[in-house]
Amino acid sequence: MGLRNLAAPLLLTICFGTVADAQESEADAKPAAEQPAAEEAKPAVEEPAPDEPKPAVEEAAASEEKPAGGKTEAAKKAQAVFDQRVEEWRKATQALWTEVNEFHTARGDVKFSEQIRWAERESAARDAMQAAFLAASNLVFEDHENRDGRTFLAQSILYHAQTDWYEGLKQGALAMLEAGVKDIQLNVIAGVSAAATGDFEVARGHLKEVPDGDEGLAEVGQRMKFILDPLQESWEKEQKLREAEAKADDLPRVLLKTTRGEVLVELFENEAPNTVASFISLVEDGFYDNVPFYQVVEHEFAQTGDRDGDGSGTADYRLPDEAIGERGIFRGSLVMAKIPNPNAARDPDASGTIPNTGSSQFLITLLPFNPEYKELCCFGRVVSGMGAISTLNRAKVEKEKDAPVVLPDSIIEAEVVRKRDHEYKPETLPY
């Protein structure tokens, strides 16, 4: 198990140790009557709901007075929810560690059922972590000086930013800024996560603070800042298309059961019928089962669809290009991979990819692409499960010297869960 596999459980240990100390000291200082009662557990959700926590200045009632020497009722309620969510995360992670021990002490080959059970445990722990993260954001909005909330939130923001897990990240960064924490990295994180999730007003307000830099968060912030205007225009167009698609509710869907959990994708058959036909036929043939995410580039994309795992694999046919530029490429887009053009580096007028070289390989994007880049076919999007994609091991085809070995995550099984009532047979080109 690599370091990235252990990141969430280790983060849990770090946070729990600090939170436990803070809670113990507060418990000694407060009478029992002031201890918040645990609120009834709510189901953990992976994707943040549209009504995620907003800044306290927007949400708190103007008339609410803070009792002398005490907490507001809203802060007490937020504390109770946070405590409950942390306990749920603790239990989910304990169950995951039990699975880890069984996984590593098992003899013989790992069975399919064991892979699925492992993925389910990790997914449950990740969902519980996300619920605790959102609860911490709300707690800090309501109680700026809350020690356990701020400690937990700071560690969680770091983990989310490092793994390109942007759902809920904007709210966490804004909560810390609202609480008076002055750190330019928080502004960059808030801006990048806002751009990734379609909140362009917040993105503009915070990306104007992004420092110059050619690596890490600074580079990502500069990249998002540069494309904000065309990205917003493309996003507004995309929203109209998605509204119409939701009303029709008939686009094909595929469930990817990965080593990080389930990922549900919806396919853009209206714009890319041939690419979708190829994808569905390959899924139904079992082509994508046990296929690795052999290349995961931070702040960019996860790539799969190569059974060989070295970047050379295909479905033994090529696909003609279609729908180039018809759908924008946002966070969670499915994009057909093509062969890079070797002449692009020395010829600025050459295209970056070779036309008509798509096959079985595809990308799932971690951040939006520049809308001006129109060489690739976007043929679908992730409906749910971006937490699983964000936490994939950062595997690489070209290994750096002395770099640790990173085992790739994989698609355990792919299944068509909905399609239209016609045959899916693609038109192909020979290799």
**Chain segment 118-138, per-residue pLDDT in tens:** 889 999 999 999 999 999 999
- Whole-number pLDDT of residue 99: 76
d(CA 427, CA 431): 13
pLDDT for res 107: 57
pLDDT average, residue stretch 361-374: 96
User: What is the Cα–Cα distance from 120 to 103, expressed in whole angstroms?
Assistant: 13
**pLDDT beyond 60 at 360:** yes
111: pLDDT strictly greater than 80: no
Least confident of 11-15, 65-69, 156-160, 387-391: 11-15
371-396 burial: b if 16+ Cβ within 10 Å, else e: beeeebbbbbbbebbbbbbbbbbbbe
pLDDT of 23 > 80? The answer is no
Over range 38-53, report the average pLDDT.
Answer: 42
Q: How confident is the model at residue 234 (pLDDT cuts 50, 70, 90)?
A: very high
Question: Across the strands, what pairs with 380?
Answer: 267, 334
Alpha carbon separation from 173 to 46, 57, 150, 301 (Å, rounded): 18, 15, 11, 23
Cα 139 from Cα 129, distance rounded (Å): 15
Residue 34 DSSP code: G
Compute φ and ψ for 258, nearest 5 degrees: -105, 170
* Mean pLDDT, all residues of the chain: 85
Q: What is the pTM of this model?
A: 0.83
Looking up tokens 């990502």 gives 220
3-state secondary structure of 410: strand
In angstroms, the CA 34 to CA 75 distance is 12
3-state secondary structure of 335: strand
> Where do we find the tokens 């700071």?
154
Task: Say if CB 356 and CB 17 are below 8 A apart.
Answer: no
Query: So what's the pLDDT on residue 98?
Result: 84
Q: CA nearest 86: which of 41, 117, 46, 49?
A: 41
Question: What is the percent of the chain with per-residue pLDDT over 70, rounded to a whole number?
Answer: 80
pLDDT number for residue 340: 93
For residues 167 and 345, which has the higher predicted lDDT (pLDDT)? Answer: 167
pLDDT over 90 (residue 193): yes
Among 32-46, 99-113, 290-304, the range with the most confident prediction by mean pLDDT is 290-304
Predicted confidence (pLDDT) at residue 100 exceeds the cutoff of 70: yes
Please check the confidence at residue 406 and state whether its pLDDT lies above 80: yes
- Stretch 104-118: mean pLDDT: 67
What length is written for the chain? 431
